[in-house]
Structure 1
Amino acid sequence: MSGHVVVTGGRGTIGSAVCHQLHHAGTAVTSVDVVPVVTATPFEQVVGDVRDLDAMTTVLKAADAIVHCGGLASDRPGREYDTYDINVAGTCTLLLAAARAGVRRIVHLSSINALGCVGVGTPAYLPVDDDHPHTPISPYQLSKHLAEEACRQFAERHDATVVCLRPTYVIQQSAGAGPGAADLFAYVDLRDVVRAVKSALSADLTGFHTALLAADDLWGEHGSGPHTSLVSCANAQSLLGWTPRYRHTV
């Protein structure tokens, strides 16, 4: 898409990849992260915290859309408050800033964990799809669920478009480890996640939407061929025209 996109968590694995790909496609990009800027990039970098309402409002004044990658990516045993503070309060604060700045297109990097049916949970049925009931158990799962609910409320209250992408275990090209049985052996390549973000920014949509992202096979030696995934990406295909391109063999 053209225009100006603010990417939170822009120095993280997904955020950094999104920033570079959007810039390469000709989009004006501002990366926001709590990590100090130590390397030069061809796009703007801002040091900021998504929990700082005034700072986020200022950053978003020139934005046409937000890609929200900022947050903790897993549980922090003994530090559950951090998980809720950053993932839930941070998302709510960013949405308030978006309302102030008039930004009406947001792509939120959620997770299959918002459903609560992987890791410490058990699926109610297979393949898991975007309509699966939410039964979050761990603090991280609850934080992703609550952040999605905040996005739903924002979309409805402000007549905005919010797409919550729900990647499974994100794999980079050089990755060695992968998901296990508790994660349904479900994974998605980082490059496919970035493709989904770009599609969500430009798709002809209004309102609140969710989309699971997974490769069409199982991780490692557990798949017998294509289209064996235990996670359905029907929403991603119908809403975004997205299907996975990359598979990994171990």
Structure 2
Amino acid sequence: MAGHLSHPIRGSERAAPDGSAVVERRRRFAAAQSWIRATGPELKVEGGAMNVLILGANGELGPHVVRALEGRHRLRLSDINDLETRHEYLKVDASDIDQVIAAADGMDVIINLSVLRKDRRLAFDVNARGCYNMMVAAVEHGIDRVINTGPFYVVAGPTYERFDHMIGPDVPHQPGTYLYALTKSLGQEICRVFTDSHDIHVLDLLFYMFLDAETHTVESGSPIANIGHDLVPYTVSWRDAADAFGCALDVELDSLPSRSEVFFVFPDLPHQKFSNEKTRRMLGWEPKDKLDQFWKKAKS
């Protein structure tokens, strides 16, 4: 990391790249283009569509986000593994700054869905360094809208577990020491620091449990997915989670209070431990799935 983080990029250094920097950037993208491919017919998009790069598009949330945005925006998908898709696809390691910069060429927006939870080195490389790489790419290409993601405990970690009513996304951030939360929190802070020095807006969408409201299945691999039958206080359907990205693309950046805003994404739930008021008010997000079938119980 020393080769990059030890020398923060200032606005004056990136605002007007010299000729050699432009040539190098084009060289990187030309080399990367050999990996871009798409299968199936090209999708038609609506007028006013944005060019959107999705990092980590082949994860669990990625297909739902693609489904929500395709036809409305031109998508370039990327991930570290292979993916069959109708959209442009670029094989990218989020921890590799040159690959991320190359992938962002010609884009209007970057959406970051990349995540790694367990291995200490890889979690830092993807969750923290990956955010740095993404923000450098945004500066290089003049991208003014970035949508980052993470778990709610990036903000409300273990020290908030004793609080039980209407916790919002703007409370002081206390992620704790859990590897996933800590590295994602570092990534979020890197994004915020970039917005202090550059004309880039970062919208951070935070999630926890995902659920298919029709099949009643939950996010695979979750350690709490099959414990009991009550709904976790921070749960959202896959399709409603994906719709939040459309709202984050549609919102006028000038309407946001700052260039770095955090949003809790989940429907109204009876626990009322957390609050989605900011998300609904600022982004105009309205969940379709109330999930009441999971918390309403018939009398025995």
Is residue 2:182 matched to residue 1:162? no
Equivalent residues of 2:170, 2:262 under 8 A apart: no
Partners of 2:122 and 2:274 in 1: CA distance: 29
Partners of 2:253 and 2:273 in 1: CA distance: 27
Partners of 1:180 and 1:100 in 2: CA distance: 49
Unaligned segments of structure 1, at least 5 residues: 218-222
Equivalent residues of 2:209, 2:232 under 8 A apart: no
Is residue 2:101 matched to residue 1:57? yes
Partners of 1:136 and 1:235 in 2: CA distance: 20
- Deviations along 1:153-205, whole A, 9 cap, x unmatched? 12221111110011231223431536889x95320111111111111112012
Is residue 2:129 matched to residue 1:89? yes
Q: How big is the shift at 1:62?
A: 0.7
Per the alignment, residue 221 of structure 2 pairs with none
**Amino acid in structure 1 at the alignment position of 2:79:** D
**Amino acid in structure 2 at the alignment position of 1:43:** H
**Aligned to 1:63, what secondary structure does the other structure show?**
coil
Aligned length, in residue pairs: 232
Is residue 2:60 matched to residue 1:13? yes
Per the alignment, residue 131 of structure 1 pairs with 170
Equivalent residues of 1:179, 1:186 under 8 A apart: no
Q: 1:8 to 1:239 in 2, by over 3 A?
A: same
Q: 1:178 to 1:8 in 2, by over 3 A?
A: farther
**TM-score, length-normalised on structure 2?**
0.71
Equivalent residues of 1:215, 1:229 under 8 A apart: no
Is residue 2:284 matched to residue 1:241? yes
Partners of 1:54 and 1:133 in 2: CA distance: 34
Partners of 1:237 and 1:197 in 2: CA distance: 13
**Amino acid in structure 2 at the alignment position of 1:34:** I
Q: 1:17 to 1:134 in 2, by over 3 A?
A: same
Q: 1:180 to 1:215 in 2, by over 3 A?
A: farther
Per the alignment, residue 237 of structure 2 pairs with 189
Per the alignment, residue 9 of structure 2 pairs with none
**Amino acid in structure 2 at the alignment position of 1:229:** Q
- Deviations along 1:29-71, whole A, 9 cap, x unmatched? 000100123x2x2211111111111121111111000111011
Equivalent residues of 2:101, 2:133 under 8 A apart: no
Alignment equivalent of 2:82, drawn from 36, 53, 59: 36
Following TM superposition, the consecutive aligned residue runs of length 4 or more in structure 1 with deviations greater than 6 angstroms are 178-181
Per the alignment, residue 220 of structure 1 pairs with none
- Deviations along 1:67-113, whole A, 9 cap, x unmatched? 110112x4x2xx22221121001111121122112111101112202
Equivalent residues of 1:117, 1:124 under 8 A apart: no
Equivalent residues of 2:79, 2:93 under 8 A apart: yes
**Amino acid in structure 2 at the alignment position of 1:134:** H
1:68-107 maps to which residues of 2 (within 5 A)?
68-72=112-116, 74=117, 76=118, 79-107=119-147
**Amino acid in structure 2 at the alignment position of 1:216:** D
**Aligned to 1:185, what secondary structure does the other structure show?**
coil
**Amino acid in structure 1 at the alignment position of 2:77:** S
1:197-236 maps to which residues of 2 (within 5 A)?
197-206=245-254, 207-217=259-269, 223=270, 228-236=271-279
**TM-score, length-normalised on structure 1?**
0.84
* CA RMSD in angstroms, aligned pairs only: 2.3
**Aligned to 2:279, what secondary structure does the other structure show?**
helix
Q: How big is the shift at 1:117?
A: 2.9
Equivalent residues of 1:33, 1:48 under 8 A apart: yes
**Amino acid in structure 1 at the alignment position of 2:262:** T
